[in-house]
Amino acid sequence: MLKKLMIAMAVLVVSAGVAGAQDVTAGATAFKKCVSCHDVGPTAKNKVGPVLNGIDARKSGTVAGYNYSDANKGSGITWNEEAFLDYIKDPKAKIPNTKMVFAGIKNEAEAKNLWAYLKQYDGDGKTK
């Protein structure tokens, strides 16, 4: 009985690790909705929207070389998972008068996967 329990626990631990890896993969798929306006990675450039490298713990409206709306610069947001999930549901509701015209991601699992994908990039676009 103990052997079966230990095997079941090992399967759970391995499954949890795989689920985490799948989140980033699913997030890469979700990022396809963003890629026309945003970029990530070591060669990322500002597009219609700013580069999203190093977004975790970054203050909103601070990417060098990007012309943010006053609303975005004055939002007071410091990006973390909670702030991102709240924002990405309906960007215009969270920051009225933002230039971002994206309708949002209502599905929480998809938004969490997207956050997992984005937060893996440091400020230089290298994966952590």
Checking 70-75 for CB contacts under 8 A at 24+ apart, the result is: 70/97, 71/95, 71/96, 71/97, 71/98, 72/98, 72/99, 72/100
Question: What pLDDT is stored for residue 15 in this prediction?
Answer: 41
Distance CA 69, CA 39 (A): 19
With a pLDDT cut of 70, the percent of the chain lying above it is 83
Type of residue at 123: G
Which residues, other chains included, contact 117 with Cβ-Cβ below 8 Å and sequence gap of 6+? 23, 24, 26, 27, 28, 30, 31
Distance CA 114, CA 128 (A): 16
Backbone angles phi, psi at 44, to 5 degrees: -60, 145
Cβ–Cβ < 8 Å for 128, 57:
no
pLDDT digits over 66-114, tens only? 999 999 999 999 999 999 999 999 999 999 999 999 999 999 999 999 9
Question: What pLDDT is stored for residue 9 in this prediction?
Answer: 41
Looking at domain 2-119, its CATH superfamily turns out to be Cytochrome c-like domain (1.10.760.10)
In this predicted structure, the answer to whether residue 1 has a pLDDT above a threshold of 60 is: no
Question: What pLDDT is stored for residue 12 in this prediction?
Answer: 40
In this predicted structure, the answer to whether residue 11 has a pLDDT above a threshold of 70 is: no
Encoding tokens for residue 14?
């391995």
β-pair partners for 78: 59
